[in-house]
Amino acid sequence: MSKIKVVITGANGLLGQYLIRDMAKAGFEVFATSRGAGRLPDYEDVDYTYASIDIRDKEAVQQYLLTVKPAIIIHAAAMAQPDACELNKDECRDINITATENITGVAEKLGAHLIYVSTDFVFSGDNGPYREDDTPAPVNYYGESKLASEKIIQSSKTSWAIVRTVLVYGNILSGTRSNVVTWVKDNLEKGNHIKVVNDQVRTPTYVEDLSRGIVLIAQQNAKGIFNISGKEVFTPYEMAVQVADYFGLDKSLMEKVTADTFTQPARRPLKTGFIIDKAEKELGYKPVSFKEGIQKMFG
């Protein structure tokens, strides 16, 4: 019996690298795409086909997807740095909105199930943690661009699922990438003083949990919006304390500050995070604790 074909965009990224591995191990035929050369690890017992595609190029997207004919498209590629999006709105629009239009258009032609990776930044942060049916109200251009993409997908004529996630951390399998855990660990190990925000709230998400959540959606052909994140609600300072405690590092190097301490081009929502009851009940999704995530990274 032939395997179900899945195309993954953003394959070189942190999430993309795990999705390739996990979708292949779940029995799917995986086609991975990103811009430029593949930066993917040499997986053992994982078969996938890589292609360099600029998803802003409508013709290239059409040609590729109509040739592969996937049953599922996981659209994980994005310009995801809020400050960069705020300062380069045209580029952000092209990568986050125009590319989503390109992919959605072909998904409709193929009748493919489109799984879109979105963000907690579609919300204002006034009254999180949020449920799937709460009203989005982004406070920066990155959030606006992701919400615009959500609306494109929701109004499409193909089946879809939107995966919203929060503050993803974990080890990238190939290449280098910093996240909240490695940033705290590296700085404290060097004896650097760090300022950590204590008036923002998030539900940090271990990358392998996010990948598994998306696999569950693909396997079950689940439709609609799903919050896929960690379960515990933390401020960044509380996360930093857990990291310092885990490694036995000096917490006196950490200064508790408010978000107003930093001058950033993009405003951040203060209190987001997700309630994940729907994903737990409908998908069987079970995330690890933040401490378990740290253990998995460095165990």
pLDDT at res. 201:
97
Through-space distance between the first and last CA atoms of the chain, rounded to whole angstroms:
38
- Domain ranges across the chain: 5-170+203-231+272-289
Strand partners, 32: 8, 50
Would the pLDDT of 1 be above 80?
no
Give 222 or 1, the one with higher predicted confidence.
Answer: 222
Q: What pLDDT, on the 0 to 100 scale, is given for residue 130?
A: 98
> What is the per-residue pLDDT for 95?
98
Residue 171: both structure tokens together = 């080890």
What CA–CA distance (Å, rounded) separates 162 from 3? 23
Model pLDDT for residues 4-30, shown as the tens digit of each residue:
999 999 999 999 999 999 999 999 999
pLDDT at position 289: 98
Domain 5-170+203-231+272-289 has CATH 3.40.50.2020: no
User: For residues 297 and 40, what is the distance between their CA atoms, to the nearest angstrom?
Assistant: 18
**Average pLDDT, whole number, for the chain?**
97
Q: Which pTM was predicted?
A: 0.97
Q: What percent of the chain has pLDDT over 70?
A: 100
**What is the pLDDT averaged over residues 96-103?**
98
Q: How many CA atoms lie within 13 A of 171 on its CB side?
A: 10
Quick one: pLDDT at residue 284?
98
Tens of pLDDT, residues 28-69: 999 999 999 998 888 888 999 999 999 999 999 999 999 999
